[in-house]
Amino acid sequence: MKRFFTAMLGTVAGIWLSAFLFVALFFVFIIAVASSTSSSAKLTENTVLYLDLNGTIEERKPQLDLMAQITNNATNVLPLNDILQALKYAATDDRIIGLYINCDGATAGMASSEEILNSISEFKKSGKWVYAYADSYTQGNYYIASTADKMFLNPQGNVDIKGLSATTIFFKGLLDKLGVEMQVVKVGTYKSAVEPFILTEMSEASRRQQEHFLGNIWNYISSHIANNRNVDIATINAWADSITITQTPKYYIENNIVDSLLYRHECEEMIAEICGVEKFDDVNLITATQYCEKENTLNPDNSTNTIAVLYAVGDIVDQGTTGIVGRTMAPQILELADDDDIDALVLRVNSGGGSAFASEQIWEALEQFKAKGKKFYVSMGHMAASGGYYISCGADKIYADNTTLTGSIGIFGLVPCIKGLLQNNLGITQGTVSTNKNSDFIALSQPMTGYQRQSMQRMIDNGYETFVSRCAEGRNMSVDSIKAIAEGRVWDGQTALEIGLVDKLGGINDAITDLASEMGFETYCIKEYPSLEEELMKQIMNSSASIKQNIAQEEFGEYYQYIQSIKALSNLEPLQCRAEKIIIE
């Protein structure tokens, strides 16, 4: 009886807690929606577009993180789509007289920075001024700001120009100590995503491919900085080799790294004078997001011609609530195919891949979209590799930035064997009874037999042949031609264009504009997917999981990411179209 009442009270308490949380989340939702739709910014004469590079630049405005709002743990996200749309339309808006860039250390993928820089360059063609200011310039922010008419730096600030590097962390030594053996079956000499688990240092093939794309990307970045600062590339490399962050402000002026050393209030007073007002507080600043909301840049002409932009961002998984989820994205593509109001599609891909099965389902859904007679373009962001390329390869046209990482056409299987961990380190043994010799396949507590490994290799080979055939069909190339540039190798966007993996260099605005032109649209509107409102409702319904996640993050702190990595590893599907996560700094 005691247990009964205890269970009953626990259930009642759970119901009340759930009800309380739902009400709390509902009110946070109402407040957030109200705040997002009510902006104090005004769009009048002498308005200055304000690009505040402070936070993280992501593909689009994220859905409202209700738990982050409740716990006051929200991060500042700068939507790339808003920035690009604002720069595009502000260039021809007579009310916008200039652009003020505040470089405060925002982080972004190289391709995102490239698209922002190119959009600022287009904005400048209107004849409007562009000023940039920083207390200190990070290399990424300096790259974006280098296109400004004038670059200002705090007299006590510094500039960090150092070139690019990519570091791989290897876990083989740790796994050996734990008694865990990673059994790898793969196709592709350059398929380096498995190397951290089976090697203690970088393979020659992996080093060779990274040197190639890092060199090309740095040449592209340094050439743009050199052109914008009226110096040569050798000078940019001299800056990088000198460790500019350690140099004196005098060095920055003498070497034309910046134009002037000003305190922030001096820069702001200059802008106020340009705007014809007494003080900076009277300058009418408007952010990119505020401008897009007021001008409705996605549908400026209320046109009936509609291009869908579908964002495919993150790891590709079969099911779940984050990333590119095959079970939800494939049906959504089919809905767009059947929607008579949708005329064409741009798939924006920023992914290093994941599940081969989910990649195939998304690829097939996109084929169904094309079968309806609708055009389908791909715009690649920072990375569209492995599974990210799989879902892209069937597009009518593929656009990539110069600094995009793409390709990595290869497949692998990764099966951990924890026998050593259980038996030698924990003293756990087991006995198994089977009706057939492979009944326990795949068993994490036992190494694969020779026959099982051969069978696994057969599955990987079949998956690779399918992947290659999809690419050959989509790119109108022979299978042998694809295999010659496949082998799991990662390519930069410029090289990808040269070898036929992409059709044109350009950002998402270029893909949309060209698609509209091919469709013969003089006017058109853009509709973005997935719907942020639908994602928010899913978040409310899954609030219990969000609470657990936030508690875990608070409890484990910086180690939470490693716990998540281990969890993701244990949930891997047998076949993976995944590229190594390359962080370029």
Using the structure block, give the residue that is written with the tokens 């290659």: 468
Residue 14 corresponds to which tokens in the numbers above? 């759970």
Q: At a CB cut-off of 8 Å and minimum separation 6, what does 309 contact?
A: 81, 345, 346, 348, 508, 512, 526, 527, 528, 529
User: Interior CA angle at 469 toward 464 and 474, to 5°?
Assistant: 130
SS3 assignment, position 398: strand
List the beta bridge partners of residue 187: 411
Q: At a CB cut-off of 8 Å and minimum separation 6, what does 547 contact?
A: 21, 67
List the beta bridge partners of residue 490: 407
Residue 58 corresponds to which tokens in the numbers above? 């992501």
**Sheet with 411-417, edge to edge strand ranges:** 181-187, 411-417, 576-578, 353-355, 316-317, 324-325
SS3 assignment, position 582: coil
Active site residues: 191, 386
Q: At a CB cut-off of 8 Å and minimum separation 6, what does 26 contact?
A: 540
Q: What are phi and psi of 397, to 5 degrees?
A: -145, 145
Can you point out the beta strands (E) in 335-400?
Answer: 344-351, 353-355, 375-385, 397-400
Count H helices and E strands in the chain, helices first.
Answer: 23, 22
Of 402, 356, 378, the C-alpha closest to 475 is 378
Q: How far apart are CA 190 and CA 169, in angstroms?
A: 17
Residue 172 to residues 176, 180, 398, Cα–Cα distance (Å): 6, 9, 37
CB 180 within 8 Å of CB 417: yes
Give DSSP secondary structure letters for 544-575: HHHHHHHHHHHHHGGGHHHHHHHHHHHT--SS
Of 171, 170, 180, the C-alpha closest to 426 is 180
Q: How far apart are CA 421 and CA 200, in angstroms?
A: 19
Residue 116 corresponds to which tokens in the numbers above? 């922002």
Which DSSP category does 423 fall into? I
Tell the burial category of 269 from Cβ atoms under 10 Å away from its Cβ (0-12, 13-18, 19+): middle
Which DSSP category does 72 fall into? T
Tell the burial category of 340 from Cβ atoms under 10 Å away from its Cβ (0-12, 13-18, 19+): exposed
Q: How far apart are CA 329 and CA 337, in angstroms?
A: 12
